[in-house]
Structures are given as structure tokens and as C-alpha cells.
């Protein structure tokens, strides 16, 4: 299994993304090619895919940003195809993202997960992520 960073638009990556997103969220997201290009070209995001023998099995986005206290990173939209789960692919994607974040000078790498995602939460603990006691607030500007 190889983890690759996507640096340019390819129709098969759009197809992959749109096939995996429904396995991640029920919000009905369907990216356009233009939206995918914006993600790929953004300096603050890196899109990684897990691939083997020309087939794609999962993806992860690493978002980084600089603030006065240092560089922070978030792992977002980690998803492995249902048919390929429990084979270590998510772990490979995360380890690659962690190494990339470290190389960028990130002082912390964060992620979130619903408590109901038992396997994911077990993996994050195995990879030495610490559960933080915090309140996460969300504001939707579209509702104001």
C-alpha cells in the first residue's frame, strides 16, 4: 500500500472522493471538479490517498495553519472504503499525515471523532492521540 499526496486534478480522484464521502457523512456532499481543484491547490491543505495496484482505498486531508502560538494541524475527512477496512489503511494514512505535519513544524495535530465510531477512537488512542477535555462549538453562518 502506498500513500500519495494529490498535487493535481485527476478525474479518478474526483470519483474516489465522491464515492468515499457518503461513507463518511450522510450530508449528501458531492464535490465538483472545481471544488476538488481548490482543495488540491490550497497551500493550507494536503490531500492524501491510499493506493495499491492502481486502485484507491481511502483518503485523508491534512489542514495546517499558523497562529501566534505556532503551527497547528488538523486531520480531516479520513475515510477508508468499507470493503478495505480493518487492514491498517487508516493507520498508514494517519502516520503519513503525522510525518508531514511534523515536517511542516506543527506543534500539535488534532482530529475529532464521534464517540460512536468505536474502531476509529480505538485507533486514535493506539496512535497515541490523547482525548482532550474540551467543548467544541460550531457556528453556521448560513443560519444567521
Domain ranges, ordered by start, for the chain? 2-143
pLDDT above 90 covers a percentage of the chain that reads: 83
Residue with cell 480531516: 76
- At 43-80, the pLDDT tens digits run 999 999 999 999 999 999 999 999 999 999 999 999 99
Cβ contacts of residue 23 below 8 Å, gap of 6+?
79, 81, 82
In this structure, which topology does domain 2-143 adopt according to CATH? Aminopeptidase (3.40.630)
Question: Which secondary structure element, helix H or strand E, spans residue 55, and what is its range?
Answer: strand 55-67
Question: Which secondary structure element, helix H or strand E, spans residue 144, and what is its range?
Answer: none
Transcribe 58-89 into DSSP letters.
EEEEEEEEEETTEEEEEEEEEEE-GGGTTSSH
Amino acid at each position: 500500500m502506498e500513500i500519495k499526496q494529490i498535487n493535481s486534478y485527476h478525474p479518478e480522484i474526483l470519483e474516489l472522493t465522491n464515492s468515499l464521502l457518503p461513507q463518511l457523512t450522510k450530508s449528501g456532499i458531492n464535490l465538483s471538479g472545481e471544488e476538488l481543484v481548490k482543495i488540491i491547490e490550497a497551500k493550507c491543505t494536503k490531500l492524501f490517498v491510499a493506493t495499491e495496484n492502481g486502485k484507491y482505498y481511502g483518503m485523508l486531508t491534512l489542514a495546517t495553519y499558523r497562529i501566534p502560538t505556532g503551527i497547528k494541524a488538523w486531520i480531516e475527512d479520513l475515510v477508508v472504503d468499507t470493503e478495505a477496512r480493518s487492514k491498517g489503511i487508516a493507520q498508514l494514512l494517519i502516520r503519513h499525515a503525522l510525518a508531514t505535519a511534523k515536517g511542516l513544524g506543527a506543534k500539535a495535530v488534532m482530529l475529532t471523532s464521534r464517540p460512536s465510531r468505536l474502531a476509529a477512537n480505538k485507533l486514535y488512542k493506539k496512535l497515541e492521540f490523547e482525548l482532550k477535555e474540551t467543548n467544541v462549538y460550531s457556528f453556521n453562518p448560513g443560519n444567521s
